[in-house]
Chain A
Amino acid sequence: MGEPGESRKEASAGLVQYSTENLVPFGPIHPALKEPEYFKLYLRGETIVDVIPRIGYVHRGLEKAAEQRRWTQNTYMFERTCGICSFAHSLAYVQAVEGLTTYEIPERALYIRLIVAELERIHSHLLWAGLLGHWAGFDTLFMWVWRDREIVLDLVEAVAGNRVHKSLATIAGVKKDIPDSMKSKIVERTKHLADRAYFYKGIVDTESTLLMRTRKVGNLKAETAQKLCAVGPLVRAAGVPRDVRADDPYAAYGDVPLDVVTRNDGDVYSLLHVRLDEIVTSANAIDYALEHMPKGPIRLKIPPTIPAGEYSTHIEAPRGELFYFVKSSGTAIPERVKARTPTLANLPTALELLKGYTMADVPVVLTAIDPCFGCMDRLSFVDLDSQKKWSWTGEQLREYGIKHYFPERNA
């Protein structure tokens, strides 16, 4: 299995034998992948014959590390599983932990959780729509969408204090309140974003070069999606109305009306539509929640230990169903925390979809599932036991590289 150096040799060998499949490495470092993962693509001409994934390049042993930290500290660590769905991760973790206890979570906190989660969904979907433009070679869409993404990031910054890692969810509550003075600003901005979503739908529907790239690419059938356990927008684009927010309401989703957006074709074009429509439904949900938010406290004071037991929970992260399982032995640190992220669930589907398509479709299809390899590998910026301090000078790195790739030269 795949060291990059090895695959390069294989690739050049493939060049000599024209008749066999040509191996093209897709990653670990590739302009279309914003995080390092490795896919071996076997090509015949331009057509993909087989794909072999090799993930784990950013695996940092998060689940092991969780077993050495206290419950509250873990909130921040799991939040850093991913930059884009950071609140979803901390929310799912917090929800799983709360499941072990009998605390009455304040209503207002549940509403704030919903609002921030939906802001994050808008952000994630905008980010994805822009990146799709980039991957399909339509940089203008990318720039425009990301320009509008700044608006929602500024909102998140105003609500939570930072743009990416909100650090807002905590066990039995949230840490910051949304003051009334901020409400009108949020409503105004989310309305604007919904308008922009309509505008982008207009471009996506009419621009024929973009249609050529997205229509009938990566056709996913409903049965295949269900068989391969696809989740989130991917399965909704294939016509299965499955959404944790509606099926198994958490936070304040039980009280807020929400449409489940579905499309029937299952191709990238439908995915784009599903995501752009969900921006609109999210904006509506935020408006509704802000209007109906009850007054009251936002968090409870709790002891550091959590009662023994096992609990599993799931939420609808922007990318799909995010699943958390926690086991407590009644102490201040967890016995086991397990996270199953939407990307890992969607990866088999993406690999299946790729077969038969051409090299040009790889970035579009592979990234259509909105992969977050950091999530998939459970990446952490927090080190295994936080005293990991080592640095390499450029010279050392070079030496290491030479030793790694050319062992004979070193001897």
Chain B
Amino acid sequence: MGDLVQVVIAKYNYWIYITLMMIGLYAMIAKNNLIKKIVGMNIFQTAIILFYISIGMKKGGTLPIVEHGHGAHHHAVHAADYINPLPHVLMLTAIVVSVATLGVALALGVKVYNRYNTLEEDEILAQIRKK
């Protein structure tokens, strides 16, 4: 039991990210409203970003900006002192991708609404079937 608690505490960020990812995935599959699905999609994407940021975290590391910038050529820079910058870079890209997807998704949602006057998927399908 003690081991389990240790595991849970040592990796709590990963548990939170999994929870958020499940919330997002559930919303994307189970929700009926198109905009709600888009909200779920964004939560899903942010959860993955949280996961990547957690990878880069180093205990005792500081921000990934070299201290006293230009005068510091003679200072040796130790990798263990700075947080891993690579996941941050990857996630900047992922955030941009998520806002791009959001824009296209909302444009499509507005287009669907223009045609059917509703955002509920079952009502739209009922309208299609009626024709």
Query: Are A and B interaction partners?
Result: no
Contacts from A to B (Cβ < 8 Å): none
